[in-house]
Amino acid sequence: MIHVRQANPLDARQMAELLNEIIAKGGTTARTAPITPEEMQVEMRLYPGQNTWILAENDAAQVLGFQHIGPHPDLPPEAADIATFVRLGQTGLGIGSKLFEATKARAKRIGYKWINATIRADNDSGLIYYQSKGFEDYRRIPDTVLADGTTVDRICKRYDLSR
């Protein structure tokens, strides 16, 4: 069974491990360098009251995925930026859907009006996921150079929280 809850700094080790597996596989996240549990904890503490970290776990308390929303310097204050990470081999099981339901509710409580997702144009699974949740394309950012030198286009999608 999948349980969804607010993540906390004690979850940082498992969250970092999950994210590092995705980074090592490559091709789906703009992140290119591994993250330590301590760095994850620092990120979780940024923007108190303006962000949320939602975690999905199984009955054995193994982290299956997590989702984060928070402010972004390229967005207006009424918009939150979102990032979603699901354990390799666990996609398509409803984890992302459960995460997004909890994240939407929390975004509304924080006071956001819409959510932005910026996805690598070559990340088909990410594009499909956000499209399936009702996100709509509104911008393309060509030739983004990632930290490792990879150049990719990025697609910005928007979800209106007034739905």
- Cβ burial 104-116 (10 Å sphere, 16+ → b, else e): bebbeebebebbb
Count of Cβ atoms closer than 10 Å to residue 74 Cβ? 11
Residue with the bigger pLDDT between 157 and 28: it is: 157
CA atoms in the 13 A half-sphere facing the CB of 83: 18
pLDDT single digits (tens) 8-61: 999 999 999 999 999 998 767 778 789 999 999 999 999 999 999 999 999 999
Q: Give the model's pLDDT for residue 27.
A: 67
Its pTM stands at 0.91
Q: Give the model's pLDDT for residue 30.
A: 75
Q: Are 64 and 57 in contact (CB under 8 A)?
A: yes
- Which residue range(s) make up the domain with 108? 3-160
Q: Are 156 and 107 in contact (CB under 8 A)?
A: no
Task: Report the number of secondary-structure helices (H) and strands (E) in the chain.
Answer: 4, 7
- Tally the domains of the chain: 1
Q: Give the model's pLDDT for residue 93.
A: 75
Q: Give the model's pLDDT for residue 74.
A: 93
CATH number at residue 40: 3.40.630.30
pLDDT single digits (tens) 116-153: 999 999 889 899 999 999 999 999 999 999 888 889 99
pLDDT single digits (tens) 88-100: 887 777 999 999 9
